[in-house]
Amino acid sequence: MCFGMVTKSSAMLISFDILLKLALSILVGGIIGAEREYQNKSAGLRTMILISLGSTIFTLISVQISGTLSPDRIASNIVTGIGFVGAGVIFKSDTGVAGITTAATIWVTASLGMAIGAGFAWIAFAGCILLLPILYTFTYIERWMDKLNRLHVYKIVCTYEKDIAARYEQLFQAHGLKCSNGLFRRDGNHFSATWTVQGANSSHQQVIQKILNDPAVTSFEW
């Protein structure tokens, strides 16, 4: 009877330990997800909680069945699976690639969930504390850097004139902007051009205003 009581007590301790790890993974995922939700990112509160919780559960399972399967094999499969999830939030646009930070956050959140499942809760909380300033504070640094060097794709449709493309390129250069990948097309009296233009945000605003005020321009996108 004494042996039965010890076994029951041990089972309760194990169950409490598992529940505690699951609760901690939800907390860590929720903290990271709240920041992502505040930033209006595609992977928000629920997504980060599910990623952290799922990684913890898979890690707990790998520990329980470590006698028949290698735990590191399951861990590597978790990383592979998270890679597919992260790839789903990355999108390519005309001005570059978006969603890489969100994909990296998903990857880090999964690693924190794995750390909790493996019994290294302090690593998970330390990682969470380090991650939040990177996501929040560095956003303002990126915005400041973006003002110094921003990339736009200018699409201009205007009335055709001789050397019209060179005139616009000179306008860009006069304001300290670098243009590349010029694509031109002429259809009768209409001329369309596309440039990738890079430079300070203030210079972009000046050039955009001049193009909008140009009576020869019939359509302008940037």
Residues 30 and 132 in one domain: yes
**Where is the domain boundary, 147, 167, 182?**
147
Residues 136 and 163 in one domain: no
Give residue 60's Cα distance to chain centre: 28
Residue 161 clears pLDDT 80, i.e. is over it: yes
For residue 124, count other CB atoms closer than 10 A to its CB.
Answer: 26
Residues 110 and 58 in one domain: yes
96, amino acid identity: G
Give tens-digit pLDDT for 138-153.
Answer: 878 877 877 788 888 8
Residue 204 clears pLDDT 80, i.e. is over it: yes
Give the range of the structural domain holding residue 103, as residue numbers without chain letter: 2-147
Q: Nearest-CA neighbor of 130 among 117, 147, 150, 115?
A: 115
Give dist(CA 27, CA 44) in Å, integer.
14
Give dist(CA 86, CA 197) in Å, integer.
29
Residue 54 clears pLDDT 90, i.e. is over it: yes
Reported confidence tier of residue 122, pLDDT bands at 50, 70, 90? very high
Residues 63 and 84 in one domain: yes
6 DSSP β-pair partners: none
**Where is the domain boundary, 113, 130, 147?**
147
If one compares 2 and 50, the residue with the highest pLDDT of the two is: 50
Give tens-digit pLDDT for 55-91.
Answer: 999 888 887 776 555 666 677 777 788 877 877 777 7
Alpha helices in 39-92 (DSSP H): 45-64, 71-87
Name the average pLDDT for the chain: 84
Q: Are 75 and 131 in contact (CB under 8 A)?
A: no
Give dist(CA 139, CA 154) in Å, integer.
26
Helix axes 121-148, 100-117, angle to 10 degrees: 170
Residues 141 and 161 in one domain: no
- Give the number of domains in the chain: 2
Alpha helices in the chain (DSSP H): 2-38, 45-64, 71-87, 100-117, 121-148, 164-174, 201-212
Reported confidence tier of residue 1, pLDDT bands at 50, 70, 90? very low
What are 159's two structure tokens? 């009335």
* Mean pLDDT, residues 173-202: 88
Return the pLDDT at 25. Answer: 95
Residue 3 clears pLDDT 50, i.e. is over it: no
Residues 191 and 162 in one domain: yes
Residues 24 and 119 in one domain: yes
Dihedrals φ, ψ of 151, to 5°? -110, 130
Residues 214 and 120 in one domain: no
Percentage with pLDDT > 90 across the chain: 37
Residue 15 clears pLDDT 50, i.e. is over it: yes
Residue 94 clears pLDDT 70, i.e. is over it: no
Give dist(CA 157, CA 213) in Å, integer.
13
Q: Are 115 and 126 in contact (CB under 8 A)?
A: no
**Where is the domain boundary, 100, 118, 147?**
147
Residue 11 clears pLDDT 60, i.e. is over it: no
Residues 109 and 11 in one domain: yes
Residues 59 and 139 in one domain: yes
If one compares 210 and 89, the residue with the highest pLDDT of the two is: 210
Give dist(CA 174, CA 10) in Å, integer.
77
Reported confidence tier of residue 13, pLDDT bands at 50, 70, 90? low
If one compares 88 and 105, the residue with the highest pLDDT of the two is: 105
Q: Nearest-CA neighbor of 79 among 45, 48, 54, 42?
A: 54
Write the DSSP symbol of residue 69.
S
pTM of the predicted model over 0.75: no
Reported confidence tier of residue 2, pLDDT bands at 50, 70, 90? very low
Give dist(CA 72, CA 222) in Å, integer.
48
Reported confidence tier of residue 207, pLDDT bands at 50, 70, 90? very high
Residues 198 and 142 in one domain: no
Residues 165 and 96 in one domain: no
